[in-house]
Amino acid sequence: MAPDPKRILIIDGSPLICSIVKDEVKKHPGFDCRSVSSAEEALNCIHDFRPSIVIVDVDLPGANGYEFVYHLREDKRWEALPIILMAEKNTANGMALAFNCGADDLILKPFDPIVLMLKIKAIFRRMSYTYQEATTALEKKTIRALGRSVEVKDTYTEGHSARVAFYSVIIAKGVLLSDQATSFIEDAAYLHDLGKIGIREQILNKSGPLSPEEMEIMRTHPEKSAVIIDSLGFLPEIVPMVKHHHERYDGKGYPARLGGVDIPLGARIITVADSFDAMTSDRAFRKRREFQYAIKELSEHSGTQFDPQIANIFTNEIKKFPGIETLHNYSGAESLELLKMIRG
């Protein structure tokens, strides 16, 4: 199963240049490419597409490329986003202007699309080496603390975020994702319920079924989680995973009714992990289900609620951890220590 593609956004007023870059990108698996023709379009696109790298022409209509990059760098959400500027060879002081405004590299026109692709791959290679350094131990502790903060309001979910993170890592490793991708998914799993901080305790801890109005409020938590994480300014990669972890494979979930592979891979993984832990843990409105019951549910709803490949990988991998079915008996702190022992 392939990981989510590396997303390239091209901002250039020339349809020909955009098509040249896109044609080259198509030759390389694992990349997704989108183009827009102006800085204004780019600002509207960047929040939805969430590019992994941006290629910007200097001579854009309206605001030029230098101005666009400078303003993008002032937004903390995009200050680490790799940016390549494209300029004509006769541009005065082009290199100095490019690096002073915040670009990571400069390519001069006319350019060789193969060379551009080599530069793009080199940037991604450097990113893979520096991710663990950029995501400091303090940030990791912050992520886990935020994940556990929900449990203060909803006592029935004590240890839930840690267990969902653990199950998500099991799946990610079973899918053979890279260490970087697995780390992103683990972080997203810790924070997937963060938006419940903004939901009343009377709803979170209600012992009976939720009313339609209460259910609508409860269903706002993935988007609330995404907004909070986005405002933190680091790890923007996990925002789509968190926002869409309640989508269904058949397209009947929420908040966007995405289906199949349109749902981010990380979100599909967290959906399985989250559902499994929800079934095997005590909740305010019901007692926990047995381990085998949860495994059966994942299998029966494979292809409708769950990605069938991910559900199958999880049910196979989880059996390799003897004693895992007792994990719900431990408190949040105890379960964290137990998970470390199991993973070791």
Can you give the CATH number for the domain in which 88 is found?
A: 3.40.50.2300
Q: DSSP letters of 166-195?
A: HHHHHHHHHTT--HHHHHHHHHHHHHTTGG
How many angstroms separate the Cα of 223 from the Cα of each of 220, 226, 260, 270, 315? 6, 5, 20, 15, 28
CA distance 243 to 161: 15
State residue 306 phi and psi, 5-degree precision. -115, 150
Specify whether the CB–CB gap between 234 and 205 falls below 8 A.
Answer: no
Q: Give, to the nearest 10 degrees, the angle between helix 160-174 and helix 265-279.
A: 130
Task: Check whether residue 238 and residue 146 sit in a common domain.
Answer: yes
Q: What type of residue sits at position 109?
A: K
- 246 in the same domain as 184: yes
Judgement on whether residues 121 and 192 belong to the same structural domain of the protein = no
Asked, for residue 328, whether it belongs to a domain, the answer is: yes
Q: What's the confidence (pLDDT) of residue 333?
A: 46
Task: Give the per-residue pLDDT at 159.
Answer: 81
149 lies in a domain? yes
Per-residue pLDDT of 62-91, as tens digits, reads 778 888 888 888 888 888 889 999 988 766
Q: Has residue 146 been placed in a domain?
A: yes
- Please tell me whether residues 119 and 10 are part of one structural domain: yes
**Would 1 be classed as within a structural domain?**
no
Question: pTM of this prediction?
Answer: 0.63
Separation between Cα atoms, residue 288 and residue 328, nearest integer Å: 9
- The domain of 149 spans 136-343
Which of 101, 131, 161 terminates a domain? The answer is 131
In a domain, residue 218? The reply is yes
DSSP for 49-65 reads H--SEEEEESS-SSS-H
Residues 155, 127 within the same domain:
no
Number of domains forming the structure of the chain: 2
Give pLDDT, residue 19: 93
- Domain check: are 125 and 142 in the same one? no
Specify the pLDDT at position 224: 95
- Domain endpoint, select from 95, 115, 131: 131
CA dihedral 32, 261, 43, 122 (to 10 degrees): -30
Which neighbouring-strand residues pair with 9?
A: 34, 54
Within this chain, do residues 294 and 195 fall inside the same structural domain, yes or no?
A: yes
Closest CA to 87 of 68, 106, 70: 106
Residues 120 and 233 in one domain: no
pLDDT digits (tens, 9 = 90+) for 172-212: 999 999 888 998 999 999 999 999 988 988 888 888 889 99
Cα separation, 129 vs 72, in Å, equals 24
Sign, CA dihedral 234-236-241-243, equals: positive
Burial of 218 (0-12, 13-18, 19+ CB in 10 A): middle
- Residues 108 and 191 occupy one common structural domain: no
18 assigned to some structural domain: yes
User: Collapsing DSSP states into helix, strand and coil, what is residue 292?
Assistant: helix
Answer yes or no: do 289 and 168 share one domain.
Answer: yes
Going by C-alpha positions, the residue among 140, 191, 203, 127 that lies closest to residue 165 is 191
The CATH number of the domain where 242 resides is what? 1.10.3210.10
> What is the sign of the dihedral through the CA atoms of 132, 4, 228 and 68?
positive
pLDDT of the residue at 187: 92
Decide if 86 is inside a domain: yes
- Which of 63, 97, 131 lies at the terminal end of a domain, its last residue? 131
| 58 and 186 together in one domain | no
Same domain, 199 and 264: yes
Provide the 10 A C-beta neighbour count for residue 245: 30
pLDDT < 70 stretches in the chain: 1-4, 90-94, 128-138, 154-157, 284-285, 322-323, 325-344
Kindly give, in sequence order, each residue whose CB lies less than 8 Å from that of residue 245, ignoring residues fewer than 6 positions away: 188, 192, 222, 267, 270, 271, 274
Q: Is residue 40 part of a domain?
A: yes
